Protein backbone atom coordinates (compact mmCIF):
# COMPACT_ATOMS: atom_id res chain seq x y z
CA UNK A 1 0.00 0.00 0.00
CA UNK A 2 1.23 3.46 -0.90
CA UNK A 3 0.12 6.55 1.04
CA UNK A 4 0.96 10.09 -0.06
CA UNK A 5 1.11 12.38 2.99
CA UNK A 6 0.79 16.16 2.62
CA UNK A 7 2.40 18.32 5.32
CA UNK A 8 3.20 22.00 5.45
CA UNK A 9 3.31 23.48 8.97
CA UNK A 10 4.55 22.87 12.49
CA UNK A 11 1.64 20.85 13.97
CA UNK A 12 1.54 18.61 10.90
CA UNK A 13 5.20 17.68 11.31
CA UNK A 14 4.54 16.77 14.94
CA UNK A 15 1.44 14.72 14.11
CA UNK A 16 3.14 12.93 11.25
CA UNK A 17 6.04 11.67 13.40
CA UNK A 18 4.23 8.84 15.24
CA UNK A 19 2.16 7.92 12.17
CA UNK A 20 5.27 7.65 9.99
CA UNK A 21 6.66 5.22 12.58
CA UNK A 22 3.37 3.32 12.48
CA UNK A 23 3.59 3.06 8.71
CA UNK A 24 7.13 1.69 8.93
CA UNK A 25 6.09 -0.93 11.48
CA UNK A 26 3.12 -2.11 9.42
CA UNK A 27 4.87 -2.03 6.04
CA UNK A 28 2.88 0.83 4.52
CA UNK A 29 4.90 2.81 1.98
CA UNK A 30 4.73 6.54 2.67
CA UNK A 31 5.56 9.32 0.23
CA UNK A 32 5.83 12.68 1.99
CA UNK A 33 5.06 15.96 0.24
CA UNK A 34 6.22 19.13 2.00
CA UNK A 35 4.30 22.07 0.55
CA UNK A 36 6.59 24.70 2.02
CA UNK A 37 3.64 26.59 3.56
CA UNK A 38 5.92 27.23 6.54
CA UNK A 39 9.34 27.85 5.11
CA UNK A 40 11.11 29.40 8.08
CA UNK A 41 13.64 26.78 9.22
CA UNK A 42 12.50 26.93 12.86
CA UNK A 43 8.92 26.28 11.77
CA UNK A 44 9.57 23.40 9.39
CA UNK A 45 12.99 21.91 8.72
CA UNK A 46 13.97 21.65 12.36
CA UNK A 47 11.00 19.38 13.06
CA UNK A 48 12.10 16.97 10.39
CA UNK A 49 15.55 16.88 11.97
CA UNK A 50 14.50 16.67 15.62
CA UNK A 51 11.63 14.24 15.28
CA UNK A 52 13.46 11.89 12.94
CA UNK A 53 10.85 12.21 10.23
CA UNK A 54 11.52 10.67 6.83
CA UNK A 55 13.00 13.13 4.37
CA UNK A 56 10.17 14.44 2.17
CA UNK A 57 10.41 12.95 -1.29
CA UNK A 58 8.80 16.05 -2.74
CA UNK A 59 9.62 19.58 -1.54
CA UNK A 60 7.38 22.03 -3.33
CA UNK A 61 8.90 25.12 -1.68
CA UNK A 62 5.77 27.11 -2.45
CA UNK A 63 6.28 29.63 0.37
CA UNK A 64 2.60 30.52 0.37
CA UNK A 65 -0.70 29.75 2.07
CA UNK A 66 -2.67 30.35 -1.12
CA UNK A 67 -4.74 27.21 -1.70
CA UNK A 68 -5.21 28.00 -5.37
CA UNK A 69 -1.44 28.04 -5.84
CA UNK A 70 -0.85 24.90 -3.79
CA UNK A 71 -3.53 22.67 -5.27
CA UNK A 72 -2.21 22.22 -8.84
CA UNK A 73 1.34 21.71 -7.55
CA UNK A 74 0.20 18.95 -5.16
CA UNK A 75 -2.08 17.46 -7.81
CA UNK A 76 0.87 17.11 -10.19
CA UNK A 77 2.72 15.04 -7.57
CA UNK A 78 -0.36 12.95 -6.80
CA UNK A 79 -0.83 12.06 -10.47
CA UNK A 80 2.86 11.19 -10.85
CA UNK A 81 3.00 9.01 -7.71
CA UNK A 82 -0.40 7.30 -8.19
CA UNK A 83 -0.84 6.48 -4.50
CA UNK A 84 -3.61 4.32 -3.10
CA UNK A 85 -4.53 7.13 -0.72
CA UNK A 86 -3.76 10.79 0.00
CA UNK A 87 -3.58 11.67 3.70
CA UNK A 88 -3.90 15.16 5.16
CA UNK A 89 -3.80 16.56 8.70
CA UNK A 90 -5.83 19.22 10.45
CA UNK A 91 -7.22 22.42 8.96
CA UNK A 92 -4.49 24.43 7.23
CA UNK A 93 -4.15 25.70 3.67
CA UNK A 94 -1.94 22.69 2.94
CA UNK A 95 -4.71 20.43 4.24
CA UNK A 96 -7.35 21.93 1.99
CA UNK A 97 -5.07 22.03 -1.04
CA UNK A 98 -4.09 18.39 -0.52
CA UNK A 99 -7.75 17.38 -0.27
CA UNK A 100 -8.69 19.24 -3.45
CA UNK A 101 -5.69 17.76 -5.27
CA UNK A 102 -6.75 14.24 -4.26
CA UNK A 103 -10.30 14.90 -5.44
CA UNK A 104 -9.11 16.30 -8.75
CA UNK A 105 -6.90 13.24 -9.31
CA UNK A 106 -9.69 10.85 -8.21
CA UNK A 107 -7.59 9.39 -5.38
CA UNK A 108 -9.27 8.50 -2.04
CA UNK A 109 -8.58 10.93 0.80
CA UNK A 110 -7.98 10.32 4.51
CA UNK A 111 -8.37 13.20 6.97
CA UNK A 112 -6.67 13.07 10.36
CA UNK A 113 -8.49 15.24 12.96
CA UNK A 114 -11.83 14.93 11.20
CA UNK A 115 -15.08 16.18 12.68
CA UNK A 116 -13.74 19.12 14.68
CA UNK A 117 -15.87 22.25 14.70
CA UNK A 118 -15.52 25.56 16.51
CA UNK A 119 -18.78 26.98 15.17
CA UNK A 120 -16.93 30.12 14.07
CA UNK A 121 -17.27 30.56 10.31
CA UNK A 122 -15.18 33.73 10.40
CA UNK A 123 -12.14 31.44 10.70
CA UNK A 124 -10.70 30.07 7.45
CA UNK A 125 -9.77 26.92 9.38
CA UNK A 126 -13.43 26.17 10.04
CA UNK A 127 -14.26 26.32 6.33
CA UNK A 128 -11.29 24.07 5.60
CA UNK A 129 -12.44 21.47 8.15
CA UNK A 130 -15.93 21.32 6.70
CA UNK A 131 -14.80 21.07 3.07
CA UNK A 132 -12.10 18.47 3.72
CA UNK A 133 -14.50 16.29 5.71
CA UNK A 134 -16.94 16.35 2.80
CA UNK A 135 -14.21 15.15 0.43
CA UNK A 136 -12.61 12.51 2.66
CA UNK A 137 -13.32 8.79 2.30
CA UNK A 138 -11.67 7.88 5.62
CA UNK A 139 -12.21 10.27 8.52
CA UNK A 140 -10.01 9.73 11.58
CA UNK A 141 -11.62 11.41 14.59
CA UNK A 142 -9.91 12.32 17.87
CA UNK A 143 -13.11 11.91 19.91
CA UNK A 144 -16.62 10.50 19.90
CA UNK A 145 -17.96 14.06 19.74
CA UNK A 146 -16.11 14.60 16.47
CA UNK A 147 -17.60 11.42 15.01
CA UNK A 148 -21.09 12.46 16.12
CA UNK A 149 -20.60 15.79 14.37
CA UNK A 150 -19.78 14.04 11.12
CA UNK A 151 -22.82 11.78 11.43
CA UNK A 152 -25.04 14.80 12.06
CA UNK A 153 -23.62 16.50 8.97
CA UNK A 154 -24.25 13.40 6.87
CA UNK A 155 -20.74 13.04 5.49
CA UNK A 156 -20.32 10.15 3.07
CA UNK A 157 -16.95 8.88 4.32
CA UNK A 158 -16.20 6.28 6.98
CA UNK A 159 -15.62 7.82 10.41
CA UNK A 160 -13.29 6.09 12.87
CA UNK A 161 -12.51 7.25 16.41
CA UNK A 162 -8.76 6.69 16.80
CA UNK A 163 -7.64 9.34 19.32
CA UNK A 164 -5.14 12.11 18.71
CA UNK A 165 -1.68 11.72 17.20
CA UNK A 166 -0.40 14.74 19.12
CA UNK A 167 -1.12 12.93 22.38
CA UNK A 168 1.21 10.21 21.19
CA UNK A 169 3.88 12.75 20.25
CA UNK A 170 3.54 14.67 23.51
CA UNK A 171 3.86 11.56 25.65
CA UNK A 172 6.89 10.40 23.70
CA UNK A 173 8.82 13.64 23.34
CA UNK A 174 8.03 15.84 26.39
CA UNK A 175 10.33 13.94 28.81
CA UNK A 176 13.12 13.97 26.21
CA UNK A 177 12.58 17.69 25.64
CA UNK A 178 12.86 18.56 29.34
CA UNK A 179 16.07 16.59 29.65
CA UNK A 180 17.71 18.02 26.53
CA UNK A 181 16.51 21.61 26.91
CA UNK A 182 16.21 22.64 30.58
CA UNK A 183 14.46 25.99 30.96
CA UNK A 184 16.46 28.91 32.44
CA UNK A 185 13.62 29.72 34.88
CA UNK A 186 12.08 28.03 37.88
CA UNK A 187 9.31 25.73 36.57
CA UNK A 188 5.72 26.98 37.07
CA UNK A 189 6.83 30.60 37.52
CA UNK A 190 6.22 31.94 34.03
CA UNK A 191 3.62 32.24 31.27
CA UNK A 192 4.15 31.01 27.71
CA UNK A 193 2.34 33.04 25.04
CA UNK A 194 1.87 32.28 21.36
CA UNK A 195 -0.05 34.33 18.79
CA UNK A 196 -0.26 33.39 15.14
CA UNK A 197 -3.88 33.19 13.97
CA UNK A 198 -4.61 35.50 11.07
CA UNK A 199 -7.28 37.43 12.95
CA UNK A 200 -4.97 38.04 15.90
CA UNK A 201 -1.87 39.36 14.14
CA UNK A 202 -3.51 42.54 12.87
CA UNK A 203 -4.90 45.58 14.62
CA UNK A 204 -6.80 46.17 16.74
CA UNK A 205 -6.69 42.61 18.11
CA UNK A 206 -2.91 42.32 18.19
CA UNK A 207 -2.60 45.54 20.18
CA UNK A 208 -5.18 44.37 22.71
CA UNK A 209 -3.36 41.07 23.21
CA UNK A 210 0.00 42.84 23.62
CA UNK A 211 -1.62 45.17 26.17
CA UNK A 212 -2.79 42.15 28.16
CA UNK A 213 0.64 40.49 28.09
CA UNK A 214 2.22 43.75 29.25
CA UNK A 215 -0.16 43.87 32.23
CA UNK A 216 0.60 40.35 33.46
CA UNK A 217 2.56 40.22 36.71
CA UNK A 218 4.67 37.17 35.82
CA UNK A 219 7.47 36.70 33.34
CA UNK A 220 6.06 36.02 29.87
CA UNK A 221 8.02 34.04 27.27
CA UNK A 222 6.66 34.88 23.82
CA UNK A 223 8.15 32.77 20.97
CA UNK A 224 6.98 34.78 17.98
CA UNK A 225 5.80 33.47 14.65
CA UNK A 226 7.63 35.47 11.93
CA UNK A 227 4.36 37.06 10.82
CA UNK A 228 3.52 38.09 14.38
CA UNK A 229 6.94 39.64 14.99
CA UNK A 230 6.72 41.55 11.70
CA UNK A 231 3.34 43.03 12.65
CA UNK A 232 4.48 43.98 16.15
CA UNK A 233 7.38 45.88 14.61
CA UNK A 234 5.29 47.38 11.81
CA UNK A 235 2.66 48.67 14.25
CA UNK A 236 5.28 49.99 16.67
CA UNK A 237 3.87 47.95 19.55
CA UNK A 238 6.08 48.00 22.62
CA UNK A 239 6.46 45.01 24.93
CA UNK A 240 6.99 45.43 28.65
CA UNK A 241 10.33 44.44 30.13
CA UNK A 242 8.94 41.21 31.59
CA UNK A 243 7.63 40.05 28.18
CA UNK A 244 10.48 38.23 26.45
CA UNK A 245 9.98 38.05 22.69
CA UNK A 246 12.03 35.21 21.21
CA UNK A 247 12.60 33.64 17.84
CA UNK A 248 10.50 30.55 17.03
CA UNK A 249 11.72 27.59 19.04
CA UNK A 250 12.37 24.07 17.85
CA UNK A 251 9.73 21.52 18.78
CA UNK A 252 11.72 20.01 21.65
CA UNK A 253 12.77 23.42 23.00
CA UNK A 254 9.16 24.58 22.97
CA UNK A 255 7.87 21.33 24.49
CA UNK A 256 10.28 21.76 27.39
CA UNK A 257 9.28 25.40 27.88
CA UNK A 258 5.51 24.87 27.58
CA UNK A 259 5.33 21.72 29.70
CA UNK A 260 6.91 23.55 32.66
CA UNK A 261 4.94 26.80 32.43
CA UNK A 262 2.40 27.89 35.01
CA UNK A 263 -0.04 29.00 32.30
CA UNK A 264 -0.15 28.92 28.51
CA UNK A 265 -1.88 31.84 26.75
CA UNK A 266 -2.41 31.05 23.09
CA UNK A 267 -4.55 31.18 19.98
CA UNK A 268 -3.20 27.84 18.73
CA UNK A 269 -5.49 24.86 18.42
CA UNK A 270 -2.86 22.20 18.96
CA UNK A 271 -1.31 23.93 21.95
CA UNK A 272 -4.64 23.85 23.79
CA UNK A 273 -4.45 20.06 23.72
CA UNK A 274 -0.75 19.93 24.52
CA UNK A 275 -1.32 22.15 27.55
CA UNK A 276 -3.89 19.67 28.83
CA UNK A 277 -1.57 16.71 28.39
CA UNK A 278 1.23 18.65 30.08
CA UNK A 279 -1.02 19.47 33.04
CA UNK A 280 -0.73 23.23 32.38
CA UNK A 281 -3.88 25.42 32.43
CA UNK A 282 -4.63 27.21 29.16
CA UNK A 283 -6.06 30.63 28.36
CA UNK A 284 -7.25 30.75 24.73
CA UNK A 285 -7.26 34.15 23.07
CA UNK A 286 -10.03 33.33 20.63
CA UNK A 287 -13.82 33.56 20.84
CA UNK A 288 -14.25 29.84 20.11
CA UNK A 289 -12.40 26.56 20.01
CA UNK A 290 -12.66 23.25 18.23
CA UNK A 291 -11.26 21.52 21.34
CA UNK A 292 -14.36 22.14 23.43
CA UNK A 293 -13.71 19.25 25.82
CA UNK A 294 -10.74 21.11 27.32
CA UNK A 295 -13.08 24.00 28.16
CA UNK A 296 -15.81 21.74 29.52
CA UNK A 297 -13.47 20.07 32.05
CA UNK A 298 -12.18 23.46 33.24
CA UNK A 299 -8.61 23.26 31.93
CA UNK A 300 -9.05 25.90 29.22
CA UNK A 301 -10.73 29.33 29.30
CA UNK A 302 -11.88 31.27 26.24
CA UNK A 303 -11.22 35.01 26.61
CA UNK A 304 -11.08 36.36 23.03
CA UNK A 305 -8.94 39.53 22.84
CA UNK A 306 -10.28 41.37 25.91
CA UNK A 307 -7.21 42.56 27.88
CA UNK A 308 -9.06 42.54 31.22
CA UNK A 309 -10.35 39.01 30.62
CA UNK A 310 -6.92 37.75 29.55
CA UNK A 311 -5.22 39.20 32.63
CA UNK A 312 -7.82 37.81 35.03
CA UNK A 313 -7.93 34.39 33.36
CA UNK A 314 -4.14 34.04 33.55
CA UNK A 315 -4.12 35.16 37.17
CA UNK A 316 -6.79 32.65 38.17
CA UNK A 317 -5.77 29.75 35.93
CA UNK A 318 -5.52 26.32 37.57
CA UNK A 319 -5.96 22.76 36.41
CA UNK A 320 -9.12 20.97 37.57
CA UNK A 321 -8.83 18.38 40.33
CA UNK A 322 -10.12 15.67 38.01
CA UNK A 323 -8.56 15.48 34.54
CA UNK A 324 -10.24 12.77 32.48
CA UNK A 325 -8.34 11.29 29.56
CA UNK A 326 -9.10 13.36 26.47
CA UNK A 327 -8.49 12.49 22.84
CA UNK A 328 -7.30 8.94 23.24
CA UNK A 329 -4.62 6.91 24.93
CA UNK A 330 -1.61 7.74 22.78
CA UNK A 331 -2.05 4.83 20.38
CA UNK A 332 -3.69 6.61 17.44
CA UNK A 333 -0.95 5.74 14.93
CA UNK A 334 -1.50 2.01 15.28
CA UNK A 335 -5.26 2.40 14.93
CA UNK A 336 -4.94 4.52 11.79
CA UNK A 337 -2.50 2.08 10.18
CA UNK A 338 -4.82 -0.78 11.09
CA UNK A 339 -7.82 0.89 9.46
CA UNK A 340 -5.84 1.57 6.30
CA UNK A 341 -4.66 -2.04 6.05
CA UNK A 342 -8.19 -3.32 6.62
CA UNK A 343 -9.92 -1.07 4.11
CA UNK A 344 -7.50 -0.45 1.24
CA UNK A 345 -6.38 -3.38 -0.88
CA UNK A 346 -2.62 -3.50 -1.42
CA UNK A 347 -1.04 -3.41 -4.82
pLDDT in tens, 90-119: 999 999 999 999 999 999 999 999 999 999
Active-site positions read 196
pLDDT of residue 218: 96
Question: What domains are defined for the chain?
Answer: 2-163+331-343 (3.40.50.2000), 169-316 (3.40.50.2000)
> Are 310 and 209 within 8 A, CB to CB?
yes
pLDDT in tens, 84-95: 999 999 999 999
Residue of 291 and 48 predicted with greater confidence: 291
> Are 347 and 1 within 8 A, CB to CB?
yes
pLDDT of residue 42: 54
The set of long-range contacts for 55-60, using a CB threshold of 8 Å and a minimum separation of 24, is 56/7, 56/32, 57/31, 57/32, 57/33, 58/31, 58/32, 58/33, 58/34, 59/34, 60/33, 60/34, 60/35, 60/36
pLDDT of residue 271: 95
User: What CA–CA distance (Å, rounded) separates 70 from 168?
Assistant: 29
pLDDT in tens, 256-291: 999 999 999 999 988 999 999 999 999 999 999 999
User: Which residues face 86 on adjacent strands?
Assistant: 4, 109
> Are 258 and 274 within 8 A, CB to CB?
yes
pLDDT of residue 40: 53
Residue 238 has pLDDT above 60, yes or no: yes
Q: How, if at all, do strands 58-59 and 85-89 pair?
A: unpaired
pLDDT of residue 44: 54
pLDDT of residue 169: 85
pLDDT of residue 10: 77
Average pLDDT along the chain: 93
What is the pTM for the complete model shown? 0.85
Amino acid sequence: MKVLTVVGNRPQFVKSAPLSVGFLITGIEEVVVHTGQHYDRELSEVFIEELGLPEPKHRLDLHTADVDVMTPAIEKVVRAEEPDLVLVYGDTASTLAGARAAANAHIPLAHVEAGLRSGDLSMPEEHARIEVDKIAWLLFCPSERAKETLLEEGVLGQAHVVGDLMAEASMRFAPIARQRFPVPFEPRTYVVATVHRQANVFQPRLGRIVEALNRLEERVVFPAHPRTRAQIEAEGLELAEHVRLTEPLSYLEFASLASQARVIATDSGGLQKEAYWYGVPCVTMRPSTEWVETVEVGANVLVDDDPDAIVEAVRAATMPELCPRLYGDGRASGRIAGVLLATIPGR
